[in-house]
Amino acid sequence: MTRMMRMRAGSLVTAMSRDRTTAKASTAGLAERLATEFAPLAGARESAIALVEALRNGDLAPTGPMGWMDVRISLVLAQESIARANADIPPAERFDTALKEVLWMRAGGMGWGRIAFITAGRNRPGAGASRKERG
């Protein structure tokens, strides 16, 4: 191996190690931001961080490990679903149920758009009524 090749290899290894630390820092930042956004639904910030990490690692999701965007989309869809649902059930139970429904639909092969359509339609007043019945 020539001196030039060793220098290039050393530069490459250094660059790769920097990327790993940057990736870990940005991963923690993303988890923190998502946890802050969804902490009211999860009950506490620590619970929200644990939820986000469990979804990300695939510990909770029947779909397996999820990307950051998938984690956010699933949490937003669950949040919107409980916003339209019955107020008789405590928020933590509603959130848990809504999130499980969203995740199982995703695991069944549905796309996010279809899941959003179904969860919005199911909770909308008059969703099951025909056009004549709605007026």
Q: How far apart are CA 126 and CA 131, in angstroms?
A: 9
pLDDT tier for residue 31 given thresholds of 50, 70 and 90: confident
Whether 16 is covered by a domain: the verdict is: no
Identity of the amino acid at 49: I
Share of the chain above pLDDT 70, in %: 64
Ranking 34-38, 49-53, 80-84, 87-91 by mean pLDDT, the lowest is 87-91
Mean pLDDT of the chain: 76
Q: Which two tokens stand for residue 69?
A: 């965007």
Query: In which domain, by residue range, is 51 found?
Result: 28-125
> Which residues have C-beta within 8 Å of that of residue 12, sequence separation ≥ 6?
none
Of residues 8 and 67, which shows the higher confidence score? 67
**3-state class of 27 per DSSP?**
helix
Whether 75 is covered by a domain: the verdict is: yes
Q: How far apart are CA 52 and CA 72, in angstroms?
A: 9
Whether 85 is covered by a domain: the verdict is: yes
How high is the pLDDT of residue 131? Answer: 47
Whether 107 is covered by a domain: the verdict is: yes
24 by Cβ neighbours in 10 Å (0-12 / 13-18 / 19+) ranks as exposed
Domain count, the chain: 1
Whether 32 is covered by a domain: the verdict is: yes
Share of the chain above pLDDT 90, in %: 31
How high is the pLDDT of residue 42? Answer: 82
Whether 55 is covered by a domain: the verdict is: yes
The reported pTM is 0.68
- Closest alpha carbon to 71 in 106, 119, 117, 109: 106
Whether 87 is covered by a domain: the verdict is: yes
Whether 121 is covered by a domain: the verdict is: yes
